[in-house]
Amino acid sequence: MLVELFAAAAHGCRDRSPLTQRLLNDAAEDLRRGGVTARITAGSERDREGTVPGLRFAGAVHRLVLEGRAPGLAKHYPSVGGQPDLPRLWEDALPALNEHADRLRQRMLDTVVQTNEPGRSAPLYGGLMVAAQEAAKAAGRQVPFCVRLLEVGASGGLNLRPHHVGYRLDDTVLGDPDSLLTLDPEWTGRPPADLSHRLRVVGRAGCDLNPVDVSTKDGRLHLSSFVWADQLDRWNRLRDALDLAATDPVKVERSAGPEWLAKQLARVERDVLTVVWHSVVWQYVSPADRAMGRAVLADAAAKATPTTPLALLVFEPRREIDYKFALMLKLWPAGISLSLGVGEGHGIPFTWNVTPWE
């Protein structure tokens, strides 16, 4: 089973990260033969698909490189200035894997995948603009609602400041043109919203079972290790997002989603749109917590009014559209339910295409 999960993770990297794909394919074959990868993954044999053990392995190896513990392997990693030589990758990886097998095994057992991808702020920004304006229309208002953003599975909280990011679009920059983080959203089409309005965020909060403190060296290393080392655009985005977070800190609370969400939604703010947001989180959530979360949201939705509206905005994979990631919006009490478009799992590029959310 573990061999198949490694192979599936490698397949997921195709055309996007040749380095990670080759590492995981070679690790899967080594695992099949009972090599050092079997020692490293001891204790993870019964992992379910949603825990993506292959990506945990790749992240643990990348962290070795980032910490300077694998100089022979570092020459293949662009994140530290290397140049991949894929036919020699596994040969150069083996000394590091054997030397640090116990460290790698412990990291696999102790950590979860944390891809707190700042590129997802691009579709989030567009989705929030749509939500604020649609809620205003439904309430008969001329001005879009201010937004209170609540993120479940927030990791390091890097996507809790979409209004402080710049978004380069044609010959202008939306959002904050002076931001430390400026994204090229690579949008096909445009969100169904008036982009000349300013997104006003008046409250932010997030929770995670394993929050990452991005103010610490360990937290920054943790998030960096899960960026595929040959995707330098993502690497640079993360560096800029971490710099932005240092100037605009937002604490992520250690909590399970349903309990935290119930506490947050118990506080109702008049003339503010409360938006519950999560991205690439659903696969990690237990069925019991999924059901509890839906119940908490349904209870709050039943109490929403035109002056205290509620929205759910999610960016999650959809199997029926070839594993693309869909941005989906529900609004209460307006009764609006839309799929706004699809994109890559890292948020960029993204295609806007509004259809009913079924």
> What pLDDT shows up at residue 322?
62
DSSP secondary structure string for all residues of 138-205: HHT-SSPPEEEEEEES-TT-TTS-GGGSEEEETTEEEE-TT-S-EE---EES--SS-TTSPP-EEEEE
Q: What is the pLDDT of residues 319-335, one digit of tens each?
A: 655 668 999 999 999 99
Q: What is the pLDDT of residues 235-290, one digit of tens each?
A: 999 999 999 999 999 999 999 999 999 999 999 999 999 999 999 998 888 889 99
Instruction: Judge whether residue 144 has pLDDT over 60.
Output: yes
Q: Is 177 left (phi over 0), alpha (psi -120 to 50) or beta?
A: alpha
Q: Which residue shows structure tokens 């596994």?
A: 90
**pLDDT classification of 127: cutoffs 50, 70, 90:** very high
State which H helix or E strand residue 326 sits in.
strand 324-332
Q: Which among 127, 128, 144 has a CA at the least distance from the CA of 136? A: 144
User: Do 353 and 341 meet the contact criterion of CB atoms below 8 Å apart?
Assistant: yes
Strand partners, 275: 149, 311
Q: Which residue shows structure tokens 């905005």?
A: 313
DSSP secondary structure string for all residues of 209-224: SS---TTSHHHHHHHH
> Cα(149)–Cα(127) distance, rounded to whole angstroms?
12
**pLDDT classification of 111: cutoffs 50, 70, 90:** confident
User: Do 275 and 311 meet the contact criterion of CB atoms below 8 Å apart?
Assistant: yes
User: Do 190 and 137 meet the contact criterion of CB atoms below 8 Å apart?
Assistant: no
**pLDDT classification of 50: cutoffs 50, 70, 90:** confident
